[in-house]
Amino acid sequence: MTGAADDRPVAMVTGGNRGIGLGITRGLLAAGYAVSILATREEPTELLAELGETGPVRYSRGSVAELADNQRYLAETLADWGRVDLLVNNAGVAPTVRDDILVATQESYDRVMSINLRGPYFLTQAVANQMISQRGEVDLTGPVAGTIVNVSSTSARTVSTNRGEYCISKAGVAMATQLWAARLAPEGIVVYEIRPGVIDTDMTSGVKDRYDAMFADGLAPIPRWGVPADVAGAVVQLAAGAMPYSTGDVINVDGGMHIPRL
C-alpha cells in the first residue's frame, strides 16, 4: 500500500493493474480517489510506486472468480481505508482459443463466465451491502451513497460466433447492471454500464491487423482505436455524482460503433 486514503473517496477496481483497468486506476487517482486493486498477478511493486506518486493505491492479489478472494479484497480495503465509495467491475477475460460455437468447450465457457459474470455479480453484492451499511439514513435528494460501474463490451449486443461465451458473459453483465440499478436505487446507490468498443490493449494486440483494416473500412464514425484513457474518462465522469437522478444507463465508448448506419 502506498499512502493513506485520508478524506479521499475510495474506489475498488478489479483488474486495475493493466489494460483498461490500469487506465481507470490512473484516471481515478488523478481525480482524487484512493484506489484498491484486485488482480491475479504478483504485486507489481514498481508500478504501485509509480501510481503512488499520484495518490494512495493498494493491491490485493486474487481472482474475481473466487468468491473467497472477493471477500478478502473487500475486507483488506476496509481494513486499510475504512470505506468504499465506488466499485468498478472491470476484470474480464476473452476465451483462450476463439472456437466456433459448434466446437467450443465447456471448460472455456465456465472459465469465461466465472470471471466475467459470476464473480462480479457476487462482488457487487458484497460491496453494495457495505455501501448500505456505511451510508447512514437515505436521502434521495442528496449526494449518491455509492456508485457501481460495470465494464462490459460492445460484444454485449454484437455477435461473434467464434467467442460465444464472451458475448454471453457481457450480455449478462448488461442485465446484471439493470438488476442492480433497480434494486439499489432506493438505497441511494447508482449503477452504470460502460460498453467499450475496440480498445488498444494486450487483449486486442493479436487482432491488430484485422481491426486496422476494419477501421479503414469505416468500422466506427471516429476512425481510430480506443485507448484505456477513453474508458477511464467515462468512469471518472460517472463517479463524480453529477447525475444523481440517472441509473442503469449504458455509456458507449466505441467511437460510435453502436450507431446503426446505412
Active site residues: 166
Say how far apart CA 92 and CA 230 lie, in whole Å: 18
In residues, how long is the chain? 262
Angle between the N-to-C axes of helices 164-184 and 106-113, in degrees from 0 to 180, rounded to the nearest 10: 30
Say how far apart CA 215 and CA 225 lie, in whole Å: 8
Say how far apart CA 103 and CA 165 lie, in whole Å: 12
Say how far apart CA 199 and CA 136 lie, in whole Å: 39
Say how far apart CA 8 and CA 200 lie, in whole Å: 30
Say how far apart CA 224 and CA 244 lie, in whole Å: 32
User: In three state form, how does the secondary structure of 19-48 look?
Assistant: HHHHHHHHHHHHCCCEEEEEECCCCCHHHH
Task: Check: CB of residue 81 under 8 Å from CB of residue 34.
Answer: yes
For residue 38, the cross-strand partners are 14, 60
SS3 202: coil
Residue in this structure with the C-alpha cell 465457457, named with its chain if needed: 109
